[in-house]
Amino acid sequence: MKKIIFTFGFVLLFFYGFSQDNNLLLEEIIENIAEENEEELDYSELYEALYYFAEHPINLNKTSKEELRELYFLNAYQIDKLLLHIEKNGKFLSYLELQTVAGFDVQTIQNLLPFISINTSVTSKQLLANIKQYIMVRDQFYLQEQKGYVPDENGDIHYLGNAHRTYFKYRLKNNYLQAGITAEKDAGENFLGERQPYGFDFYSAHLQAKNIGKIKNVIIGDYQMNFGQGL
């Protein structure tokens, strides 16, 4: 059996951060890796990697080849078969499914279980990650003064608002959410003030959620509101 030596500082960190049973389990796993691996390994690095994944389990349904390699005890064949199983059969729903993956014997599965999860839920951090945003504002108006803005013989002006036609669009999107709002003000309409406290005279909004737990694809919108003065 190969002798495994760790630095004192790392062992101390591991001892206080982990239960005794799990500590012994990881030592046993590392000894098995040492026996089966002919190459020289940095066992301190291996110990640290397994400690990390014991505290932050790999979600098998969202993992990658690179992440699985960091477990050391899975070979290239096993990793390929695991990812192929997910590609063909969909996400894991039970740990028992690991028995159906080619190349996975009982010992491999026992070694793997402390470091994985099959959680299909989306965390709030993931839900709000990698959001891309888009804003567009367009304003149109005539350089020449229009008839509706010229006072008549009684001094009255037909249009209550300015001559600007303003269009606003905002969109956000990531892997799970897509939302947007569109707003528009016609030329001659008020913007804010007593007659138009809502700002724009037209609003449209939508929200889409997908691949969040049991939600595959839900779309709400476009919800429209009109506050025009009916000029």
Segment 183-201, tens digit of pLDDT? 998 877 777 767 777 788 8
Query: Cis link prior to 222 (omega < 30° from 0)?
Result: yes
* 113 lies in some domain: yes
* 2 lies in some domain: no
Pairing, β 132-140 against β 116-117: unpaired
Tell me, what's the pLDDT at 77?
96
Tell me, what's the pLDDT at 74?
92
Angle of helix 8-17 relative to helix 43-55, nearest 10 degrees?
20
Do residue 106 and residue 132 come from a single domain?
Answer: no
* 231 lies in some domain: no
pLDDT over 90 (residue 182): yes
* 68 lies in some domain: yes
Do residue 14 and residue 107 come from a single domain?
Answer: yes
**Which of residues 15 and 60 earns the better pLDDT score?**
60
Tell me, what's the pLDDT at 29?
80
Q: Which residue has the tokens 């390994």?
A: 41
Do residue 61 and residue 80 come from a single domain?
Answer: yes
Do residue 66 and residue 161 come from a single domain?
Answer: no
* 72 lies in some domain: yes
Tell me, what's the pLDDT at 5?
38
Q: What is the mean predicted confidence (pLDDT) over 81-87?
A: 94
pLDDT over 50 (residue 118): yes
Do residue 144 and residue 187 come from a single domain?
Answer: yes
* 3 lies in some domain: no
Q: How confident is the model at residue 174 (pLDDT cuts 50, 70, 90)?
A: confident
* 185 lies in some domain: yes
* Total structural domains within the chain: 2
Measured between alpha carbons, how far is residue 91 from residues 5, 62, 70, 119, 175 in Å? 39, 9, 21, 10, 17
Do residue 109 and residue 175 come from a single domain?
Answer: no
Query: How does the average pLDDT of the chain come out, rounded?
Result: 78
Give the model confidence (pLDDT) of 1-28 as tens digits: 444 433 333 333 333 344 555 667 777 8
Q: How confident is the model at residue 33 (pLDDT cuts 50, 70, 90)?
A: confident
pTM, full prediction: 0.46
Do residue 85 and residue 132 come from a single domain?
Answer: no
Do residue 95 and residue 135 come from a single domain?
Answer: no
**Percent of the chain at pLDDT exceeding 70:** 73
Measured between alpha carbons, how far is residue 21 from residues 15, 18, 133 in Å? 11, 8, 48
Do residue 48 and residue 138 come from a single domain?
Answer: no
Helices (H), the chain: 8-17, 20-36, 43-55, 65-69, 76-89, 106-112, 124-127
Do residue 168 and residue 201 come from a single domain?
Answer: yes
Measured between alpha carbons, how far is residue 159 from residues 151, 184, 187, 215, 229 in Å? 10, 17, 8, 48, 10
Q: Is 77 exposed, middle or buried (0-12, 13-18, 19+ CB in 10 A)?
A: exposed
* 62 lies in some domain: yes
Domain range for 66: 8-120
Q: What does the alpha-carbon distance between residue 227 and residue 167 come to, in Å, rounded to a whole number?
A: 15
Quick one: tokens of 210?
């997908």
Angle of helix 20-36 relative to helix 43-55, nearest 10 degrees?
140
Tell me, what's the pLDDT at 31?
78
> In sequence order, what are the residues at sequence separation of 6 or more whose Cβ sits closer than 8 angstroms to the Cβ of residue 170?
133, 134, 135, 180, 181, 182
Do residue 168 and residue 187 come from a single domain?
Answer: yes
Do residue 131 and residue 163 come from a single domain?
Answer: yes
